[in-house]
Amino acid sequence: MPRVIGQPTSRIDARRKVTGRADYAAEALLPGMAHGVLVGATIASGRVEAIDTTAAERAPGVVLVLTHRNRGRLGAMPSGLDWTTGQALDPRPPLADDHVRYHGQYVALVVADTLEQAQHAARLVAVRYQEQPPLVALDDPRAPRVAPEAALGVPLRIERSAPVAPLDIDVDVACGDHGDCRGALAAAPVTVDHTYTSPAEHATAMEPHAAIASWTDGELVVHSSTQYVGGERAALAAAMEVPVERVRVVAPFVGGMFGSKIATGGHAVLAALAARQLGRPVKVVLTRPQVFATVTHRPASAQRITLGAGPDGRLQAIRHHTVTQSLVEDGYPDDNEYVEPTTFTSRMLYACPNYESAHELVRLNQMKPGWVRAPGEALCTWALESAMDELACRLGIDPVELRRRNHAAVRPGDGKPFSSKHLLACYDRGAERFGWAQRDPRPGSMRDGDVRIGWGMATATYPGLRLGATVRLRVERLDGSVTATVSTAGADVGQGLYTVVAMTAADALGLPVELISVELGDTRLPPCAQAGGSNLTASVASAIVDAAGELRRRLGVAPDAPFADAVLASGEAAVEAEATSTVIVGETDRLVFQSFGAVFVEVRVDPDLGRIRVARVVGVYDVGRVLNPLAARNQLAGGVVWGLGQALLEGLAYDPVHGQPINGDLAGYLVPVHADIPAIDVGWIDAPDLDFNPLGVRGMGEIGITGVAAAVASAVHHATGVRVRDLPISPERLLG
């Protein structure tokens, strides 16, 4: 039986998708379904002084108008990230009271027989506000500044240190600090000390957030666009104050998410509430502007990086102070804080004996920030890798050579070994494929006519996570042959989980892929972690291998023998086994699991217009074994496209007076389109990380974005001599 793992394999769900038979959340047609339209606040800070729903209630087709005055009781949604607690996008329940904390915050839900009737009536809801000047910028001196006490459920060391420069703070969350950073910086022959900023960045998934809720005999069923049915079930059960066993969340297909669909949105809670009150199904779909205003985003940030080095470029100290935005507090539990984990990366990326970090939150009148693709790494690598390029320029050392000299063979600080690290090979192969040896290091020296050419590079990284999955494997006799069904609640959000599950099961059982059925995205299936943290392939594949092993043992089939004959010979109509993979969050007692890569970028800059075109990108990644090369290319190149958007285009802007998003739709919020995207050449080392799981796979959903923004900024500097430290690198930043 030829093995299918490692073979380029087309998506087994492709036909359903292109023929419109893949059901997304908003597409369920339930009998008697009503349509809910959310009304958003038109101020960003203040109170609802009066809300008049009379006209809306009288409008044709309207069956319910919910506001904070009549919405009734909701339970508190906890803040956890696991399937026993769930997490809320906005930590305050929807329509909690008359407080408005961000523009677009829901102030009413209008439900009618048809969508058009609900849209019409939503415009008739009359709200009078008492408006306060909103807090909209990280550097607003009125905005409360706090040091988070804990983040992400990961224990962090809390330290106090003396305030230093403008962005420094007096109470720090420090992550993996080691050595004497201040002493080493004072003594370092060379220092580089700059602040790098970035605006709020949105996940911009193609499918808007949507939920259809229905109740039958006290059981709630929600069709939801979620990357985490288990978490959503727990959160909705808490909000509705019913046992989790009475809630089912269904998400067989999800149109992209990138972190924005981990937590449960107020739209889903209100759909469930309205459906219960009305005794009929209710569907609520966010408009695109509502997605921008009321769904989480990568926080605006300012990161100050201070590097101390010797004349040979060897790092002696790294300081990393991060400031990110948070939502004004207003009484929500502070264990529901979101702290972008930037320091997880800076503490381990390079061999450096002295390291110090700090994090500060600035509370603003904008939706609470949260998970967005490579949360932490995408921002940290923007700042740290830019600073490394500045250090390379200062010392006249080639940027790749500088990274090699600072390569960390073990994790700095504690000396814990990496399970499998091939970063040096990524530098070598990437440089080779890109032609880096031809680079003239002098800024502005490489030209094509009037066009300036710049080459930049950066290190990429993302941890190896396994957040746990239970998989059921059922093998049945069918007309003299056998078929297998693999079931788990994990979601295929576009990353190709259906296919890789089928491939893994096919190899584990010695059956062709065509005989494997896959069931995903339903809380009725065995529980599974979120499709997030690039973890699902590793989590699910491990459990499939274990479940298949269990079946083999039971039927006495040798590990490499095909399974079908044994099932047929056993006389059983069906055999079934379940297995659960354990949780590994980046490390065990013994080993650190971390992916790495190197990304190289060529930009072409028109010096008169400041126009930047990315001409080509080469990325080489060490992500463990690659199970499906087609999906791997998709994921890695897709991540690079994200990085190009972060570098050149993206940023949610808020009106400084009224605090509303001023480019909160797909006309105003720029993301890369095909014309912006050059040839992207991604490759991988394909070294299995067998300490991580039996297949040696580490996942690759997020690493592709990391490093790209710094590589672009470094390439722009190489082309023009202009160092841009504020994202996005828009043309006006080059015209000064």
What are the residues binding ligand MOS (CB under 6 A)? 227, 257-259, 262, 371-373, 375, 532-533
Q: Give the number of other CB atoms < 10 A from CB of residue 595.
A: 30
Q: At 529, phi and psi to the nearest 5? A: -65, 170
DSSP lists the bridge partners of residue 303 as: 196, 322
* Minimum CB distance to ligand MOS, residue 298 (Å): 9
* Minimum CB distance to ligand MOS, residue 330 (Å): 25
Read off the tokens for 670. Answer: 């720029």
Looking up tokens 């962090």 gives 156
Q: What are the CB-based long-range contacts (under 8 Å, 24+) for 17-24? A: 17/253, 22/252, 22/253, 23/252, 23/253, 24/207, 24/210, 24/225, 24/253, 24/254, 24/255
Select 254 or 307, whichever has its Cβ closest to ligand MOS.
254
The answer to whether the CB of 496 falls within 8 A of the CB of 12 is no
* Minimum CB distance to ligand MOS, residue 258 (Å): 5
Q: Give CA–CA dist 72/75, Å, rounded.
A: 10
* Minimum CB distance to ligand MOS, residue 55 (Å): 41
* Minimum CB distance to ligand MOS, residue 620 (Å): 23
Looking up tokens 């978490």 gives 231
- Exposed e or buried b per residue across 634-650, where buried means at least 16 C-beta atoms within 10 angstroms of its C-beta: bbbbbbbbbbbbbbbbb
702 assigned to active site: yes
Q: Give CA–CA dist 722/355, Å, rounded.
A: 29
Question: Which of 201, 232, 377, 702 is the catalytic position?
Answer: 702
DSSP 29: -
Element (H, E) at 391: helix 377-395
Question: Beta strand pairing status for 516-519 and 481-487?
Answer: parallel
The answer to whether the CB of 34 falls within 8 A of the CB of 111 is yes
Report the residue closest to ligand MOS, judged by CB: 259
With 0-12 / 13-18 / 19 or more C-beta atoms within 10 angstroms meaning exposed / middle / buried, residue 571 is exposed
Q: Helical H runs in 92-199? A: 115-122, 181-187
The answer, yes or no, to whether the previous bond of 91 is cis (omega within 30 of 0) is no
Read off the tokens for 205. Answer: 């998934």
Q: Give CA–CA dist 119/99, Å, rounded.
A: 24
* Minimum CB distance to ligand MOS, residue 639 (Å): 11
* Minimum CB distance to ligand MOS, residue 370 (Å): 8
| Largest pairwise CA distance in the chain | 80
Q: Give CA–CA dist 605/735, Å, rounded.
A: 11
Read off the tokens for 167. Answer: 């962005």
* Minimum CB distance to ligand MOS, residue 206 (Å): 15
Catalytic residues, which ones? 702
